Amino acid sequence: MNTTNKIKAFASVFLLVIAVQIIKADDDAGRSEFNAVTVSVPSLTIAPDARGGGMGDIGAATEPDMASQYWNPAKNAFAYSKAGVTFSYTPWLRSLVNDIDLVYLSGFYKVGDPELGTIGASLRYFSLGSISITTESGQEMTQVNPYEMAIDAGYSLKLSEKFSIGANIRFIYSDMGTNVTGASDLQPGYALAADLAGYYNNYVMMGNNECLLGLGFNLSNMGTKISYDGGNTTYFIPTNLRLGASFLFPMDDYNTLSFNVDANKYMVPTPPDMQGLSAEEKSEALKRYRETSPIAGIFKSFSDAPGGAKEEFREIMWSLGAEYAYNNQFFVRGGYFYENPYKGNRQYFSLGVGFKMTAFQLDAAYLISTVPSNPLDQTLRFSLTFDMDGLKGLVR
């Protein structure tokens, strides 16, 4: 296999396999029913922060924090601080390799006094480490360093004391390794995308306790497709619908407990069922799938699964999580993420802790797989958050 084909093979395998973390289902599950939704730029789907990651990848309706830019940008409008910044680091797929990392930087700033709205921005950098390119005889020719990057900025605004909206614009760049002689037809991929989100919170009485109810949604990565060969072949980016609910219960003056749930569904067409088709019919079905536009794909994604409503429901990913806080300074978290075995089979528990001082907060999360041979097992996340109001208080 020549160098160009090797690079293409790597890119194809990464896009197809790593994108959805396909883990082989049980033998009795029926291979004909396995039909995972495939997306490119898979790093956009990785939960970047330790708080959300510690609760099973949750964040659509939880209390606003410095990572709301990813989970639900509308939450920035209800942030308790004037401004804040968070830095997160995730060593990814450590059970397979030791040089894949995700770095995430996010922040927000409330504009004006009285408040006119909130500006948010984030930078995501996902490195796939170093990959050696060899000749047919096994001699190393060179090395490539594929990576993916996304930069976004957005604005959120309170429409009332209980509801806000938010939107982001995102530039996406994906380089699968183009610095190899002879691979001139493999190019970096570019895409533009947008998020649209809403967040509702309201205090409700339960007995003598004033509890906080949160509801949220985020339509993320709605945008162009991406290509690695100058537009000849295009791939869907992970356009996603996230719905969430949260209920925070104050047990007393110092202790609170929140329960949270998120539901996710890719707004990307389901790959066609090729069983029983002739070679010509398969080619035509695949052509129609690849030529589907991103907008058409969003609408088709809710009704195009070959297995009907049953398969559409299988495409929903669920996250359940809880967070205990003592005096809003010490936090313990836990959660569970579930993806149907026929749609990727990512299933895992997560645990997390956090410690907050006046000006900063440190969080960590740990993932425990519940399915065998899962490369996500033992994944760690770390986040360091700075509260600008707290920093001002320290220097006064």
Q: Does 69 score more than 80 pLDDT? A: yes
Share of the chain above pLDDT 70, in %: 85
Q: Does 27 score more than 50 pLDDT? A: no
Q: Does 378 score more than 90 pLDDT? A: no
Q: Does 154 score more than 90 pLDDT? A: yes
What is the domain extent for residue 220? 3-395
Q: What type of residue is 226?
A: I
Q: Does 19 score more than 80 pLDDT? A: no
pLDDT (mean) for 152-164: 97
Strands (DSSP E) contained in the chain are 83-91, 101-111, 117-127, 131-134, 140-144, 147-158, 163-175, 189-206, 209-223, 226-227, 234-235, 240-250, 255-266, 317-326, 330-338, 347-356, 360-369, 380-387
Which residues face 344 on adjacent strands?
Answer: none
The pLDDT of residue 377 is 81
The pLDDT of residue 233 is 87
HSE of 201, CA atoms in CB hemisphere, 13 A: 23
pLDDT (mean) for 69-98: 91
Greater model confidence, 92 or 158: 158
Determine contact, residues 243/262, Cβ cutoff 8 Å: yes
160: confidence class by pLDDT, cuts 50, 70, 90: very high
Q: How many domains does the chain have?
A: 1
pLDDT (mean) for 191-215: 95
Measure the CA–CA gap between 337 and 320, rounded to whole angstroms: 7
Q: What type of residue is 73?
A: P
Q: Does 14 score more than 50 pLDDT? A: no
285: confidence class by pLDDT, cuts 50, 70, 90: confident
Q: Which residues contact 333 (CB under 8 A, 6 or more apart)?
A: 51, 54, 55, 321, 322, 323, 324, 350, 351, 352, 353, 354, 365
Measure the CA–CA gap between 156 and 165, rounded to whole angstroms: 6
pLDDT (mean) for 307-318: 94
32: confidence class by pLDDT, cuts 50, 70, 90: low
Q: Tens digit of pLDDT for each residue in 217-265?
A: 999 999 999 998 888 889 999 999 999 999 999 999 999 999 999 999 9
Q: Tens digit of pLDDT for each residue in 104-138?
A: 999 999 998 778 899 999 999 999 887 766 666 66
| Mean pLDDT, all residues of the chain | 86
The pLDDT of residue 18 is 40
What CATH code is carried by the domain that includes residue 211?
Answer: 2.40.160.40
Greater model confidence, 161 or 394: 161
Q: Tens digit of pLDDT for each residue in 345-365?
A: 999 999 999 999 988 999 999
Listed range (6-15, 201-210, 256-265, 336-345) with the worst mean pLDDT: 6-15
